[in-house]
Structure 1
Amino acid sequence: MRTTRRPIQVVSTWVRRQPPKVKAFLAVITGMAALVLLRAIVHDHDNLFVAAEAVHSIGISVLIYKLMKEKTCAGLSLKSQELTAMFLAVRLYCSFVMEYDIHTLLDLATLATTLWVIYMIRFKLRSSYMEDKDNFLIYYVVIPCAALALLIHPSTSHVFVNRVFWAFCVYLEAVSVLPQLRVMQNTKIVEPFTAHYVFSLGVARFLSCAHWVLQVLDSRGHLLVALGHGLWPSMVLISEIVQTFILADFCYYYVKSVFGGQLVMRLPSGVV
């Protein structure tokens, strides 16, 4: 007797068989459809940015639960946490000297929890840290981000160094998750709490990207002018889009695993 397949299984099987160009096209179409939906149901698009920060906070809470209850940091990238702490510290500095607001307090809370996670991985749970799997060389992203920040940065009236720091934290945030993805690529198996954490980062990044894109559309492009002139306004949007697409592939397999009833994700070769 032939087994009835779920619609999600049929769709995922069809997508998996498509060539890379078709998959990329489908990803773009899906993203555009999601943007249209968000624009229709969310009237104040500033709420998308708040939602992004809320989802990020949920992800960090899941991470803290994993460290405290399971007493293991297996599958987590210390280098990703260090990059996160780095761009948050720089962004906090920029907030204090350039535009202090409520987001400064939120960044301060996120930095504090990130430093705690780093402390737990480095000292309390060192025995479970997969150092051999966490082999991404962080200067591969720090140095290019610093160089790019020197070349392309805001054209505001602030001190030159502060403008470079601002650009640096924007660029570094876009690629800070790469070491975590490398760990998952090396292990091929992702346990639930780590998967939940990375998926929350993907959702947060998409909401943040949607916030900027919809704000630009609503202002008919005037927001780009408000951010400055030259390449900087475009680089802000590109950075948001890059963050989203870096995590898009993982999020696809996460959703597929959830609908398939799998508690542990198994990533095929070439993913992330």
Structure 2
Amino acid sequence: MNIFRLAADISHAVAIVLLLYKIWTSRSCAGLSLKSQSLYVAVFVSRYLDIFRFVSFYNTFMKLFFIIGSSATVYLMAFKFKHTYQKENDSFPVLYLILPCIAMAFVLPYEYNPVEILWTFSIWQESVAIFPQLFMVQKTGEAESITSHYLFALGSYRGLYILNWIYRYVVEDHVDWISIVAGVIQTVLYCDFFYLYITRVIKGRKLDLPA
């Protein structure tokens, strides 16, 4: 554990809390992609198959939090507040994301066993899971402030993990190329959003995309 990984985990947890807060207080999931949230459930379930192998309280708690938090988000969107879900705007074809990730999991795992293949799938899938949400924002041309804060916290989590990998390489001589490449891909997806967030949302303006 290092400060960059801790900050990344906190940023990730804040993103999930912000999303649940937004849905529960507004009683609406308008503007949110159920496809993205469902992909995140698949990411965490496939990654944390070792959840019952105790490493530390922190490790177990965070794994449970990510699985339960993402599952609760999907439940609220798909069932409790489904009448507010804008299905017509959540139209990105997710098979274009899932199938390449499955292929990469079988082609480039560190070891050929079910747990390692599922872990590899989860890394690649997480790198593109946000794409339906970003596509939805692009399609509608705007995002509520709290949705923007959620996306910024989620993007910051990946950016901080890049610093974590740099730190581990320098201090521990540890390199995880799958996580690094997938993390860079995910961070690049956020670049335009980061610019708009800094130039608009932080200044108190609504995140409206340029025409």
C-alpha contact 1:77 1:183 (8 A) present in aligned 2: yes
**Where does 1:13-24 land on structure 2 (aligned, <5 Å)?**
none
Which consecutive aligned stretches of 4+ in structure 1 deviate over 3 angstroms post-superposition? 94-97, 99-102
1:102-125 deviation line (CA, Å, top 9, x unaligned): 334312112111111111111121
**Where does 1:169-248 land on structure 2 (aligned, <5 Å)?**
169-219=122-172, 222-224=173-175, 233-248=176-191
Structure 1 residues not aligned, in runs of 5+:
1-44, 225-232
Higher relative contact order (CA closer than 8 Å, sequence separation 6+) = 2
**Where does 1:16-35 land on structure 2 (aligned, <5 Å)?**
none
Q: Which amino acid aligns with 1:141?
A: L
Tell me the secondary structure at the aligned position of residue 18 of structure 2. helix
CA distance in 2, matches of 1:104, 1:145: 26
CA distance in 1, matches of 2:79, 2:192: 32
Deviation of 1:259 after TM superposition, in Å, equals 4.2
C-alpha contact 2:123 2:178 (8 A) present in aligned 1: no
The one of 102, 113, 124 equivalent to 1:160 is 113
Question: What fraction of aligned residue pairs are identical, expressed as a percent?
Answer: 29
Specify the alignment match of 2:33 in structure 1: 77
Q: Which range moves more in the overlay, 118-127 or 103-112? A: 103-112
**Alignment pair present for 1:113 and 2:69:** yes
Return the index of the structure with the highest Cα Rg: 1
Specify the alignment match of 1:130 in structure 2: 86
Tell me the secondary structure at the aligned position of residue 93 of structure 1. coil
CA distance in 2, matches of 1:74, 1:267: 17
Q: Which amino acid aligns with 1:267?
A: L
Aligned residues: 210
C-alpha contact 1:92 1:104 (8 A) present in aligned 2: no
Deviation of 1:100 after TM superposition, in Å, equals 4.6
**Alignment pair present for 1:267 and 2:206:** no
Structure 2 residues not aligned, in runs of 5+:
none
Please report the TM-score for the alignment, with normalisation by the length of structure 1: 0.73
Please give the root-mean-square deviation of Cα atoms over the aligned residues, in Å: 1.8
